[in-house]
Amino acid sequence: MKTESSVLATKLNTFVRLSEGERRCLEQMQSAPIPVERGVEFIHQGEMGNVAYILESGWACSFKLLPDGGRQVITFPIPGDCVGLRSILLRTADHSVTAVTDAVVSRVQVARMLEVFSEFPHLAAAILWATSRDEAMVVEHLASVGRRSALERTAHFFLELHDRLNLVDLALDGEFTCPLNQYALGDALGLSAIHVNRVLRVLRERNLMTLKGQVVKLHNVPELKQLAGYETPEEVAVLKR
């Protein structure tokens, strides 16, 4: 089991085999751990900033505030995810991020990040690759809400969560913890909480997956993938030295 401080290295090591020097640099790039209580918003839409965050533990929710006061869920950051990188490039945050559970984050100053990128180009490539992979999830989210059925999009969502958590050793044999209630799931899937409950019941009755309490168990991954039209992301280091 990896330590909390190595969660980002664990994720990035999937894309680039990190050297010991790169691992140490990654740790030094981050601030001391900062606790964030459940429900606290730590990135605010519309605010300027030069800081990104690494989610060390816990879950978060990134969302876009709408003019009518509503919100659209974008994704749920999990341990090992970088949040706020786009805000650095755009100079202004185009979305907000709130802790879904009690969480721990570390800050990364943009100036220090640029120094690291210059000194360790492979590390920069790994972060870019991981960020691109995360951006691809937004595309899949749009496809799910726009074209996939409720059953397909739900299956796709949980397969995606499994693969993301597996990158940081938080999924085992198709089982993982998911702290999202049915209202949060509904926001992400574009469904009502009642509809989410019905879809989960169908998946359970087909013996494809179950959600009991906060524990998700994928019983038949191949059939779930076929149902969702899901393609497993590349899971080996793709950038060679």
SS (H, E, C) 22-45: HHHHHHHHCCCCEEECCCCEEECC
Q: Where are the beta strands (DSSP E) in the chain?
A: 34-36, 41-43, 51-57, 60-65, 71-75, 82-83, 96-99, 103-109, 171-172, 175-177, 209-212, 215-218
* CA atoms of 106 and 21, how far apart (whole Å): 20
pLDDT score for 237: 44
* CA atoms of 51 and 56, how far apart (whole Å): 16
Could you tell me the residue ranges of all domains in the chain? 4-135, 138-228
pLDDT score for 21: 85
Q: What is the per-residue pLDDT across 117-174, written as a single tens digit (0 to 9) for each?
A: 888 888 888 888 887 777 777 777 666 666 789 999 999 999 999 999 999 999 999 9
pLDDT score for 236: 42
What is the reported pTM? 0.87
pLDDT score for 13: 83
Residue with tokens 């958590």: 165
Domains 4-135 and 138-228 agree in fold: no
Going by their DSSP bridges, the two strands 60-65 and 82-83 should be labelled as unpaired
SS (H, E, C) 180-198: CCHHHHHHHHCCCHHHHHH
Q: Which region holds residue 95: left if phi is over 0, alpha if psi is between -120 and 50, else beta?
A: beta
Low-confidence stretches of the chain (pLDDT < 70) are 1-5, 89, 141-146, 233-241
- Measure Cα distances from 108 to 24, 48, 145, 158 in Å: 15, 15, 33, 30
Tell whether domain 138-228 is in CATH 3.30.420.40.
no
- Annotation: CATH topology of 4-135: Jelly Rolls (2.60.120)
Angle CA(8)–CA(11)–CA(183) in degrees, nearest 5? 85
User: Which tokens belong to 220?
Assistant: 């038949």
DSSP symbol at 236: S
| SS3 state at 139 | helix
Average of per-residue pLDDT values in the chain: 86
